[in-house]
Amino acid sequence: MSGSRPPKFPVALDRVAPVTKAARETLRPQRPVHEAARDALRRTTPSGLGLDSAGVRARMVARLRTEGLRHEAVLAALAAVPRHHFVDSALISQAYEDTALPIGLGQTISKPSVVGRMIELLHDAPAARARGGLGRVLEIGTGCGYQAALLSHMATQVVSLERLKPLHDKARELLAPLRRHNLRLVYGDGRTGHAPNAPYDSIIAAAGGDDLPAAWLEQLAVGGRLVAPMKSADGRGQVLMVVDRTEGGYTRHVHEAVHFVPLKSGVA
């Protein structure tokens, strides 16, 4: 539905959420790729770091907790999923730092703090709190598959879309050993969503545009919540936009500033 006008919906007054210590600066889940690539050239594959140890992930989670991440299900998923499994071997020593790292094709694996914050916002939806989980999830932008793996620990089903075929194939390869049977990867245009499995209780996007595609709003279930980066009203950058669908329409709330890759149409 690229280019279609989003449906009209009543909009609540934008409300800026309190900014935590971790969000005082713009959240940059995709740091400039040239910086990450430069770091990669300086590093060699480490050995004997014990990255498979639960203790390594636990220390990362402890740091994120001190920075303000509070939802226990999100923290538990971060502690369970081996982030180093999704990171290039030349950068593996940075796998559990709160930094974005390149995954190829000008894309990066997002910072754990940003991933955790966005999933926490999904959990804060009244319907998610009532059912104790994210329900049926649509993820826009699979990337290397790390966020999809996290979501699969908190959802009944995850459908994850990726428009770049090499990344879709890479994510399929990386996720296969984890045997997340409630996770389905789809190669397709993220702007159109994935109607065959709609409606979704939760929708999360890893790319931002000038608007929210009409397909996303239409495929969001009543009682569902969407979290996505979107161009700010002043046009100076991106913010996290949270949209809730109710029986009466849609309401939206603006959260902290972020910096994601542009949302694009089509497949490649």
Segment (H or E) for 152: helix 146-152
Q: What is the DSSP letter of 102?
A: E
* Residue 21 phi, psi (nearest 5): -55, -40
Strand segments, DSSP code E, in 62-156 are 101-104, 107-109, 136-140
Q: How far out from the chain centre does Cα 241 lie?
A: 13
Cβ-proximal residues to 248 (8 Å cutoff; 6+ apart), any chain: 10
Beta bridge partners of 183: 158
Contacts for 60-67: CB closer than 8 Å, 24+ residues apart: 60/96, 60/97, 60/98, 60/112, 63/98, 64/22, 64/98, 64/112, 64/113, 64/116, 67/20, 67/21, 67/22, 67/98, 67/113
Which of the following is catalytic: 2, 93, 110, 202?
Answer: 110
Residue 169 neighbours by CB under 8 Å, 6+ apart: none
**Residue 47 annotated as catalytic:** no
Distance CA 117, CA 68 (A): 9
Residue 143: CB partners within 8 Å, gap ≥ 6?
Answer: 103, 107, 108, 109, 110, 162, 167, 171, 206
Contact call for residues 180 and 137 (beta carbons, < 8 A)? no
**Distance from the Cα of residue 112 to its chain's centroid:** 10
Active site (catalytic) residues:
110
